[in-house]
């Protein structure tokens, strides 16, 4: 029986992948990753396919991330093997999208979170609209941005990426462009026209035809306090600086971070600083697997998913409860090598 979680379509010059779980905001499962990867393999060898489009079904957005409830149950069972297999396949796909030899247009309309960023923000043509809400909200569930998210956010101007990663805040389409997560801005009402034109013209020409100047980034206007507050490599110090700024935006950020998992916040900050020095997306994804597998053993990961997505009481009991209690040993252990279980991706040699 054909799987309908991803619609694989061909129209003219275009190969179109539609993430098709609108009831779950198109959250990615293992089967979807396989379907997308197989389609990319097939279309790479097909000269009739000139461009690929990735979009999401329904009105809410491209993709709300990975199916973390399934990961929760896998971790709860004590195994974690299915989660590891999923992450390996997902991270390979993230790298595949980055290095794909044909243009990939990612339509980042509506909500694009977590794994949705991984399947879109590494594409060659990343399109946002006035409806776009892009974010890596992992610290709110006791997890750390993965799918190459720390690679991308560590390279955002100033400390914008640190702000986005630690708070888990969603940013606008204009902000996403300013941060380097997207390239092109169109009106949401122009989406059908863009999709139609992609079947007849090159990706560059079609996107240029419908693109417009993005509005000013509100986040960029706040760099005067973001860059200063998030400069330290210590999460406690960042929180102290945010409280001292005296700006409503900084106060809101401090309150948000104080409610996130202290372990996840501490490891996320370290992951960003490490990712900034790694030479390629592939090296960043290798780091992501190390951290993701270690996070399965943190009490905060199960507790965060329980509170946010299972019981939905929105009242996680983090352990440890404060940033001061997160040991340097726990943070360092998150990055320890995996031996034979390493992802071992490498960037193509130039």
Residues catalogued as catalytic: 66, 115, 138, 146
Write the CB contacts of 283 (distance below 8 Å, at least 6 apart in sequence). Answer: 345, 346, 347
Q: For residues 317 and 306, is the Cβ–Cβ distance under 8 A?
A: no
139-171 per-residue burial string, b: 16 or more CB within 10 A, e: under 16: bbbbbbbbbbbbbbbbebebbbbbbbbbbbbbb
Q: Give the residue carrying structure tokens 């996320």.
A: 268
CA distance 270 to 275: 8
CA distance 134 to 148: 14
> Backbone phi, then psi, for 121, in 5-degree steps?
-75, -5
Q: Give the residue carrying structure tokens 């149950």.
A: 73
Length of the chain equals 350
Q: Give the residue carrying structure tokens 């122009």.
A: 190
Bridge partners, 66 (sequence order)? 28
CA distance 342 to 325: 29
- Does residue 320 have a cis peptide bond before it, meaning omega lies within 30 degrees of 0? yes
Q: For residues 2 and 39, is the Cβ–Cβ distance under 8 A?
A: no
Name which of 83, 227, 103 is nearest 146 in CA terms.
83
């Amino acid at each position: 029986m054909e799987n309908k979680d991803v619609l694989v379509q061909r129209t003219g010059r275009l190969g179109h992948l539609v993430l098709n779980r609108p009831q779950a905001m198109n959250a990615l499962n293992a089967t979807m990753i396989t379907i997308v990867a197989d389609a990319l393999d097939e279309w790479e060898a097909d000269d009739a396919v000139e461009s690929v489009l990735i979009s999401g079904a329904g009105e809410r957005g491209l993709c709300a991330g990975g199916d973390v409830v399934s990961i929760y149950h896998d971790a709860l069972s004590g195994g974690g093997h299915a989660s590891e297999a999923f992450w390996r396949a997902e991270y390979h796909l993230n790298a595949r999208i980055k290095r794909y030899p044909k243009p990939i247009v990612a339509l980042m309309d509506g909500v694009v979170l977590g794994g949705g960023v991984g399947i879109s923000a590494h594409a060659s043509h990343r399109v946002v609209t006035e409806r776009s809400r892009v974010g890596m909200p992992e610290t709110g569930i006791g997890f750390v941005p993965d799918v190459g998210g720390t690679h991308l956010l560590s390279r955002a101007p100033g400390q914008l990426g640190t702000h986005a990663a630690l708070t888990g805040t969603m940013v606008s389409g204009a902000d996403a462009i300013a941060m380097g997560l997207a390239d092109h801005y169109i009106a949401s009402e122009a989406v059908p026209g863009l999709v139609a034109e992609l079947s007849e013209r090159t990706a560059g020409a079609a996107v240029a035809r419908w693109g417009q100047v993005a509005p000013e980034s509100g986040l960029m206007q706040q760099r005067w306090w973001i860059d200063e507050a998030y400069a330290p490599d210590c999460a406690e110090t960042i929180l102290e600086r945010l409280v001292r700024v005296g700006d409503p935006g900084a106060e809101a950020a401090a309150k948000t971070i104080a409610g996130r998992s202290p372990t996840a916040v501490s490891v996320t900050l370290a992951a960003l600083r490490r990712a900034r020095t790694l030479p390629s997306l592939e090296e960043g994804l290798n780091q992501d697997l190390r951290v993701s597998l270690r996070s399965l053993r943190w009490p905060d990961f199960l507790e965060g998913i329980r509170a946010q997505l299972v019981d939905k009481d929105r009242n996680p009991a983090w352990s440890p409860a404060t940033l001061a209690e997160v040991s340097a040993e726990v943070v360092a252990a998150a990055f320890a090598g995996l031996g034979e279980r390493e992802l071992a991706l490498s960037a193509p040699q130039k």
